[in-house]
């Protein structure tokens, strides 16, 4: 593989633009022999002549045309890099975020409002498990992530946003007085991918004498689309367990009730980014938005 010397390549590209050795030297602040020396060294590096001389003029050889295309492409790349470095606009560019499905539903209206106010800002939001979110932040696929546990990694910055309650969600018409596990089983569990882990976390603490594990729950239905989980509960078909963000994101709030359990459970929320990335203006602006929005969760 040929690695072209950047200085020699720039001199050659300028020579091709100007078409004259002396004027090229003047533009670059060099001597004419210096331009000729750069050309000769570049030809030695490539291993073949790059120009065909014709008196005071020259034409490019096939190799010269190929090298010139590389020089022009490199100039375009360098220009794009300079623009990216010099212009750090919070309203321009792309920000990629990973979080749980329930948090995605809850935060998305805030992100939509941000994009309405910034037409040149693109926000990509993906629902994913914590391991995938941390991996995405580390490899640069994600700019920001919201997770439940603080990652122990030197290249990850973590900001604790707070915590959100894990909620036992019942139909609004359900008579929840003297609630016990038998009554919940009579109603039936609306299961979802995280539901069984949530049940072990919440129900074990509130019904320690009767709860025997999530595998003993009476499952009424199973849904893997986070936005649809509260629907059967709202229709009186069952109960479920969700983070508060998943409940708050449901549009028909009046059809649900969150039971006030004796032993409450809260999950931490950590906003993570790769070290150094949160200083980029557009990422910092979205990070601030998420931080302020989560003040309403608890």
| 88-298 classified as CATH 3.30.420.40 | no
Element (H, E) at 79: helix 62-86
Place of tokens 């919201």: 146
Looking at CATH, the fold of the domain delimited by 6-86 is given as Arc Repressor Mutant, subunit A (1.10.10)
Residue 208: the pLDDT is 94
User: pTM for this one?
Assistant: 0.64
pLDDT, tens digit, for every residue of 6-40? 999 999 999 998 899 999 999 889 999 999 999 99
Place of tokens 């906003």: 271
Residue 268: the pLDDT is 92
Cα–Cα distance between 22 and 46 in angstroms, integer? Answer: 24
Residue 129: the pLDDT is 84
| pLDDT of 83 above 70 | no
Residue 95: the pLDDT is 92
pLDDT, tens digit, for every residue of 139-178? 888 999 999 899 999 999 999 999 999 999 999 999 888 8
Instruction: Supply 106's token pair.
Output: 């809850």
Query: pLDDT > 70: what percent of the chain?
Result: 98
Find how far residue 3's CA is from the centre of its chain. Answer: 34
pLDDT, tens digit, for every residue of 106-141? 999 999 999 999 999 999 998 888 889 999 999 888
Q: Give the residue-averaged pLDDT of 52-56.
A: 84
Query: CB–CB of 215/199 below 8 Å?
Result: no
Element (H, E) at 172: none
Q: Where are the domains of the chain?
A: 6-86, 88-298
More confident residue, 161 or 80: 161
Residue 75: the pLDDT is 87
| pLDDT of 87 above 80 | no
Cα–Cα distance between 123 and 97 in angstroms, integer? Answer: 8
Number of C-alpha atoms within 13 angstroms, CB side, residue 130?
Answer: 12
What is the pLDDT of the chain when averaged over all its residues? Answer: 91
Query: CB–CB of 21/55 below 8 Å?
Result: no
Residue 85: the pLDDT is 67
CB atoms within 10 A of CB 196: 17
């Amino acid at each position: 593989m040929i690695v072209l010397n950047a200085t020699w390549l720039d001199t050659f590209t300028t020579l091709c633009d100007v078409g004259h050795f002396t004027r090229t030297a003047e533009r670059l602040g060099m001597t004419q022999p210096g331009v000729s020396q750069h050309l000769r060294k570049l030809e030695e590096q490539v291993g073949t002549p790059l120009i065909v001389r014709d008196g005071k003029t020259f034409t490019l050889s096939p190799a010269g045309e190929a090298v010139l295309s590389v020089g022009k492409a490199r100039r375009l790349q360098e220009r794009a890099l300079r623009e990216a470095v010099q212009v750090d606009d919070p309203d321009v560019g792309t920000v990629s975020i990973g979080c749980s499905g329930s948090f995605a539903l809850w935060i998305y209206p805030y992100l939509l409002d941000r994009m309405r106010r910034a037409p040149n800002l693109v926000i990509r939001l993906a629902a994913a498990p914590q391991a995938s979110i941390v991996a995405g932040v580390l490899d640069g696929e994600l700019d920001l992530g919201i997770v439940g546990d603080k990652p122990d990694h030197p290249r990850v910055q973590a900001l604790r946003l707070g915590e959100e309650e894990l909620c036992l969600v019942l139909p609004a018409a359900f008579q929840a007085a003297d609630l016990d596990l038998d009554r919940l089983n009579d109603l039936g569990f609306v299961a979802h991918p995280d539901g069984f882990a949530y049940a072990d976390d919440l129900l074990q603490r509130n019904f320690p004498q009767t709860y025997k594990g999530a595998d003993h729950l009476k499952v009424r239905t199973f849904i893997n689309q986070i936005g649809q989980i509260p629907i059967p509960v709202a229709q009186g078909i069952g109960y479920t367990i969700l983070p508060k963000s998943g409940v708050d994101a449901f549009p028909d709030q009046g059809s649900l009730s969150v039971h006030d359990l004796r032993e409450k459970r809260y999950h931490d929320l950590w906003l993570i980014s790769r070290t150094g990335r949160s200083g980029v203006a557009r990422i910092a602006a979205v990070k601030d938005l998420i931080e302020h929005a989560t003040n309403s969760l608890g």
